[in-house]
Amino acid sequence: MSTITTHILDTALGKPANQVAIALEQLTPEGWLLLAEGRTDSDGRLKSLTPEPIGPGHYRLTAEIGDYFARTDRLSLYLTAQIDFVINQTGEHFHLPYLITPNSWSTYRGS
12-29 confidence digits (pLDDT tens): 999 999 999 999 999 999
Would the pLDDT of 1 be above 80?
no
Confidence band, pLDDT 50/70/90 cuts, at residue 88: very high
Q: pLDDT above 90 covers what percent of the chain?
A: 83
CATH number for the domain whose boundaries are 3-107: 2.60.40.180
- Residue 80 burial (10 A CB sphere; 0-12, 13-18, 19+): middle
Question: 2 near 86, Cβ under 8 Å?
Answer: no
User: Is 32 or 48 the better-scoring residue by pLDDT?
Assistant: 32
Name the helix (H) or strand (E) containing 36. Answer: strand 31-39
Note if the pTM is more than 0.85. yes
Instruction: List the chain domain ranges.
Output: 3-107
pLDDT at position 106 is 98
pLDDT at position 75 is 96
For residue range 64-85, list pLDDT tens digits in order. Answer: 999 999 999 999 999 999 999 9
- To the nearest whole number, what is the mean pLDDT of the chain? 94
